[in-house]
Structure 1
């Protein structure tokens, strides 16, 4: 199993400059765990216990309230990791993580990671770079929530999910309207209305499993 973890660590862009011998040392202390689709891997407020390295599958980080409202912070797949914040500051988990599809993770215990980082400061800088990028992403999300209207936030979310092809842009894995509402912080009904308006305006078309964006979405609606 350590070989699988080692490959997972090597696939993380932020660890590209860390020596393979150092990564192998960390991988040898990890355990593998599988999670079914829709299972909760980490709950907000839990005590930090391990670093999770995604070997396969996809997860989402989110915040939720007592009345069931949810805000999605990010989604991650292979080549990424999560759970490092609580390990570094000793505080409870700051967000929940759930599996969007069957997911396999490699778990590195907290005491192992802390000792490893002391012995390999170059790896510590790699994690700092990762945290810096996540802070920048969260800053952009806050900017959107504070300075953009609902349509502007929806247009940005669709743009961020889409990849360009010969006919325009496509979102391969169609999110539900509730997913989009959770990402941009509004009601599902508002998303449904705006998506229907964009479809009527021939800006996009919605297929069974994908969304095709035919031309640049307007700046305002």
Structure 2
């Protein structure tokens, strides 16, 4: 899985939210030091405890951030889609990778070296500001997840997860991203069987409906 030896086009860079505020000259500089990397479904992009040497942004495809519990079971911490990035924490504090990132479908990534990332932050306050805003948002989301695990039963955790994954479209809240019961279970700390039961109960009670691969939240 070697990185492609060419810079990213300006069009691609403009679609990465972290760098969207840069002017043409700064985008050109970034383009010259950035490379694309393609990974296949199921491949590890980074592994927990590895040294941190690059920032990654997802251009196409989806990836999951995972770790394992004491019994070796996979825990899904987050999903990453186009425009989202990872690897920034270790570049800031010098610590090893804190989690695995695995491609859940074929992905194309933008890779920026540690030196290029730090130079970009030093030269562009708007990138540093955007990074801080995104990190604060992630911290708030992590706080909500911890609160959910501590205070809500499985029904509440499934309901909150569906709301977090949903988007508003034509006056309805819809979960458009296909997600398996097993992956839902790994995200909320429950068994697949319990998640299946809760989803079935929510549908029978009229709280959700399914259409093909979509989940529609009723009354939201």
Q: Do residues 122 (structure 1) and 123 (structure 2) align?
A: no
Contact 1:58–1:102 (CA under 8 A) maintained in structure 2: yes
Q: Do residues 43 (structure 1) and 47 (structure 2) align?
A: yes
Output aligned runs, 1:206-217, within 5 Å.
206-216=210-220
Aligned to 1:134, which of 116, 130, 138? 138
1:15-48 Cα deviation digits (max 9, x unpaired):
3333232222122111211011121111111110
Residues 183 and 19 (structure 1), Cα distance of their counterparts in 2 relative to 1, 3 Å cut: same
RMSD between aligned alpha carbons? 2.1
Distance in 1 (CA, whole Å) between partners of 2:68 and 2:191 is 15
Contact 1:61–1:95 (CA under 8 A) maintained in structure 2: yes
1:103 — aligned with what?
Answer: 107
Q: Do residues 87 (structure 1) and 109 (structure 2) align?
A: no
Q: 1:126 offset after TM fit, Å?
A: 2.2
Number of residue pairs matched? Answer: 215
Distance in 2 (CA, whole Å) between partners of 1:153 and 1:66 is 22
Unaligned runs of 5+ in 1: 217-221
Distance in 2 (CA, whole Å) between partners of 1:166 and 1:127 is 31
1:7 — aligned with what?
Answer: 11
Aligned to 2:186, which of 172, 182, 189? 182
Distance in 1 (CA, whole Å) between partners of 2:189 and 2:90 is 25
Please identify, of 180-189 and 113-122, the stretch whose mean Cα deviation from structure 2 is larger: 113-122
